[in-house]
Structure 1
């Protein structure tokens, strides 16, 4: 199972960063080069990737990925609609942009655009984020039906860092603030070195169907940058909700 998951992670990173070599893949994924190389051989043999032009072997996605993607349903339309909005948001903020959707009590990353800055956050597509300890999750929870929050609070909330909100009343107060201001902030609540600002994407009936977020190392989430990023992501989320109808 681990080998399969590692191979899928490699495929996702090649798709996101193509063309890319084994060394950079190993660094980004924090995997041994030998593990990455085996995954690349498997994907190449199966026709999912191909060597890109150049003296050093770097890899790119083949049209097989497009063929499979073309048969996908569900969130594909949302991703296509979101991409130009995400591009604008990345240009405005200069940071990594995530599109996540609520699924099985988590927020699942379905699209991302990376910053050009050398120090950045990194997360594979398909990764699940905790609702209570992520900006994306709090943004959605603030507009979710009350029953969803009650269900979440039936069990003790996991504690990830010193800033994770785990007390029920504290989380309720935080969500009231998110609802009032229209965005959520994560100040190292899931990973101590990662910050984010997110806004919920609401459908025509004001139900949260996704969230957009600006993601960055915690050192770049400052008193000066936070309101700028918050205004940008709130506008982007409202735009996406409007386009989705």
Structure 2
């Protein structure tokens, strides 16, 4: 019980004093430095706090606290739900994680959490991603009704690299495979240096409201890595979709 109380008190202190170091926290809580350090480790492992990147190490809240607070008041949107899940996905993979939303026949990048690795994928927020040549886009398109897919393909599949799928029959086979395994892949189909895996976030009506992706430089992506990341991103997308359902129900009471 004391450990739980220490963690809750530490969370309040971090919120009030962030960014805060372990020595400052220990003084504020009147605890041994070793106890404060263990408490911070627990909060970090649970996703409540993050390192700010400064030296010596200092700590600040993650958006998980915002998520819980907004759930209490009913004020919650897609970003609020998705970002804590994305942060956990980034923590596990240490790769760049993107959140994109559909807009017409394309998808738009609205959130990015970057890897700590020196070689990384950097796309600006607001970047338009082609639906047939990006993992995010293919994940969304595969979850759309058949009529929407037919309309998209009929407009033509533009080639961006030598690996872009531009043949309608092959692209339909690609979408069927995405539906079967639960996630989409992109192996340099939009930009040769960008590879990714992505899964659609489904709304209460079963239609895609967003997609989450893990993005890796093509030089670093392997088939085994793609499969592992695919399973993780699919689980993350399901988690976000499940969290959105009660919010949708609450707003329509």
Q: Tell me whether the two structures share a fold, i.e. TM-score over 0.5.
A: yes
Question: What does residue 134 of structure 1 align with?
Answer: 134
Tell me if structure 2 keeps the 8 A contact 1:203–1:244: yes
For structure 1, which runs of at least 5 residues remain unmatched after alignment? 1-75
Question: What does residue 52 of structure 2 align with?
Answer: none
Question: What does residue 29 of structure 1 align with?
Answer: none
Secondary structure of the corresponding residue to residue 198 of structure 1: strand
Question: What does residue 171 of structure 1 align with?
Answer: 171
Q: CA deviation at 1:231?
A: 1.1
Question: What does residue 60 of structure 1 align with?
Answer: none
Aligned residues: 170
Secondary structure of the corresponding residue to residue 90 of structure 1: helix
Tell me if structure 2 keeps the 8 A contact 1:140–1:200: yes
| Distance (Å, rounded) in 1 between the aligned partners of 2:224 and 2:182 | 18
What whole-Å deviation, never above 9, does each CA across 1:132-152 have from its counterpart, x for those lacking one? Answer: 000011111111011111111
Question: What does residue 224 of structure 1 align with?
Answer: 224
Question: What does residue 198 of structure 1 align with?
Answer: 198
What whole-Å deviation, never above 9, does each CA across 1:118-160 have from its counterpart, x for those lacking one? Answer: 1001111111100000001111111101111111122221100
| Distance (Å, rounded) in 2 between the aligned partners of 1:80 and 1:183 | 22
For structure 2, which runs of at least 5 residues remain unmatched after alignment? 1-75, 246-253
What whole-Å deviation, never above 9, does each CA across 1:20-39 have from its counterpart, x for those lacking one? Answer: xxxxxxxxxxxxxxxxxxxx
| Distance (Å, rounded) in 2 between the aligned partners of 1:241 and 1:127 | 23
Secondary structure of the corresponding residue to residue 210 of structure 1: strand
Counting only pairs closer than 5 Å after superposition, residues 178-193 of structure 1 correspond to structure 2 as 178-193=178-193
Q: CA deviation at 1:89?
A: 0.4
Question: What does residue 93 of structure 1 align with?
Answer: 93
| Distance (Å, rounded) in 2 between the aligned partners of 1:226 and 1:153 | 26
Question: What does residue 144 of structure 1 align with?
Answer: 144
| Cα RMSD for the two superposed structures | 1.0
Question: What does residue 113 of structure 2 align with?
Answer: 113
Q: Which aligned segments of 4 or more residues in structure 1 are displaced greater than 2 angstroms?
A: none
The answer as to 2:66 corresponding to 1:83 is: no
